Each structure stands twice: as C-alpha cells, then as structure tokens.
Amino acid sequence: MAEAYEHIIKISGLVNRFGKQVVHDNLQLDVRRDEILGVVGGSGTGKSVLLRSILGLHGPNEGSIEVLGQTIRHHRPGPHKQWGVLFQGGALLSGLTVQENVELPIALHSNLPIETRRELAVLKIFMVGLDLNAAAKFPNELSGGMRKRASLARALALEPKVLFLDEPTAGLDPISATEFDQLLSYLKANLDLTIVMITHDVDTLFGVCDRVAVLVNKGIIVDTLDEIVRHPDPWIQEYFGDPRAMRARKAAKAKVEI
C-alpha cells in the first residue's frame, strides 16, 4: 500500500535563531522520494543546524518538519528505525569491531536472535564493499575509505528509507571518493533509498545528485544542477563558477553522453 505522505521530507516556515543571529528565516524544503539531494552553502549558513533540526536533535524556533509523514519533535524520539545517519567523523565506537558496530543498532531496535543479527550485519558489510577480514577489525585499523564504508554499513543496518550523510567524501582521496559516490548511486537504485547529503565535493554534486539545495540569504534555493548554475545569486555564481566546479560539470556531462 502506498504511503499517504507526498514527500519524504517536508519543511515549512523553519526559523532557527541563536541570540540575535538568525540562521534560517521561513525556510521551505520538500525532499522527493528516491532522490539524492545535495545540500551546500557558505560558512555560517546553517547546514549542520538544518540537518540536526530534521533529525530532531535541535529544536527550531518556528516552523514544522515532517519526515516520512511524521512530525518531528525535538523533545521526543523520532522514527529512527526508518532513517540512517552517517556523520562526518563516522562516529564508530572504537572499542567494537566493524561487525559489532554494525550489529549494535540491530540489537538495540529488534528482538532478533543473535545469529540472525550477525548474519544481517555481515550482509550490510558486504553490501558496502567490505569483507569478513574488515569486519573483524577495529575502526583504528581501517583506512579512511574503509571507515566511511563501515559507518555507512551501520547507517544501513535497520534498512532505512532515508539516509542522511554529512560530508561523506571529506578526507578521502579522489579514487576513494569516486568509488564512494558510485556506491551511493548503487544503493539508491537497489534499496529504494532517498538520500540527503551535506557536501562541498563538486564531483559528488555533479556526479550523483538529482537536485541540489543551496542555503543562501537565510533561506534555501532548490533545483536541478542545470538550473542552479544559472541562478543569479552571487554566492551560487561564485561557487559553481569555480574552475573545479566547471571541470566537474563538464566531466559529468561527458559521462552522460558516453
């Protein structure tokens, strides 16, 4: 049976203030089902505040947020079983192996037998391109790219409908970043995932995002990349007019034409 909600995420009239500083003022955002939405913005535009508001970790001054048809209340637990989060640092528990890290949310949110939990954890680890050898290691024994994949496996542990990512390719070399982007595209296509990611990686923006949301002037501008790059806002023009962004756009177009 189809869900009653039209959008995966619906934000209306969002206001976030810190003292006299207004970060978001009447921000509106709808996230569509099965899209990868990239979120960008300059320093101080409130990218992390927006993410924390959606997750229920920060209470906005005004406005409403719905995720999967449920109103988010920062004083109450949200529908965490239906979303996964990959924070910028990965946030893996250093005293647990990769498999134990991935198994933990399954143990916390289900009554499955221990063997079933272990099998599910291994499945998620394989799904992100790691193997049993990596599963037995501790986070400090992994490369940066492997830690990102392990954190992603944990975010997918409860088979979420929405995946939130905070700078997922930050700190990765270009090859590892490209491989991670390809993994996200694969997971979105095969797991019926909606992905919202904060990223400044222009290769990621042009390579995998269906739309981009730009935080400017205390609000947000959302469109496809082809339309966003034409927007007259000075910050948008400077950001997407940068030589790196122009190279990424050209490379993405060339890939589509092949």
How many domains does one find in the chain?
2
- Do 129 and 235 fall into the same domain? no
**Calpha distance 127→85 (Å, rounded):** 16
* Same domain for 169 and 152: no
Residue 149 lies in a domain: yes
Instruction: Determine, yes or no, domain membership for 77.
Output: no
Q: Are residues 41 and 155 in the same domain?
A: no
Per-residue confidence in pLDDT tens, the chain, 258 aa: 345 566 899 999 999 999 999 999 999 999 999 999 999 999 999 999 999 999 998 999 999 999 998 888 876 554 467 899 998 766 889 999 999 999 999 998 889 999 999 999 999 999 999 999 999 999 999 988 899 999 999 999 999 999 999 999 988 899 999 999 999 999 998 988 999 999 999 999 999 999 999 999 999 999 999 999 999 999 999 999 999 888 888 888 777 665
Contacting residues for 97 by C-beta, under 8 A, at least 6 apart:
135, 136, 137, 138
Locate tokens 């050898």: which residue?
133
Q: Is residue 253 domain-shared with residue 190, that is, in the same domain?
A: yes
Let me know if residue 19 belongs to a domain: yes
E-state strands within 133-234? 162-166, 194-198, 211-216, 219-223
Helix, coil or strand: residue 28: strand
The pLDDT of residue 4: 55
Separation of CA 127 from chain center: 17
Whether 257 and 204 share a structural domain: yes
| Domain encompassing residue 4 | 1-68+163-258
- 127 contacts: CB under 8 Å, gap ≥ 6: 153, 156, 187
CA distance 63 to 69: 15
Is residue 84 in a domain? Answer: no
**CATH number (domain holding residue 13):** 3.40.50.300
| Residue where a domain stops, chosen among 160, 187, 202 | 160
Residue 79 lies in a domain: no
Residues 169, 253 share a domain = yes
Q: Is 234 exposed, middle or buried, given 0-12, 13-18 or 19+ CB atoms closer than 10 A?
A: exposed
Q: Does 100 share its domain with 211?
A: no
Q: Which region, left, alpha or beta, applies to residue 177 given φ > 0 means left and ψ of -120 to 50 means alpha?
A: alpha
Nearest 5°: the CA angle 112, 117, 122 is: 160
Domain assignment of residue 86, yes or no: no
146 and 228 together in one domain: no
| Sheet with 219-223, edge to edge strand ranges | 83-86, 162-166, 194-198, 36-41, 211-216, 219-223
Task: Identify whether residues 188 and 210 lie together within a single domain.
Answer: yes
Domain boundary, last residue among 160, 184, 203:
160
At residue 88, the pLDDT reads 77
Closest by alpha carbon to 165, among 197, 129, 202?
A: 197
**Do residues 132 and 212 share a domain?**
no
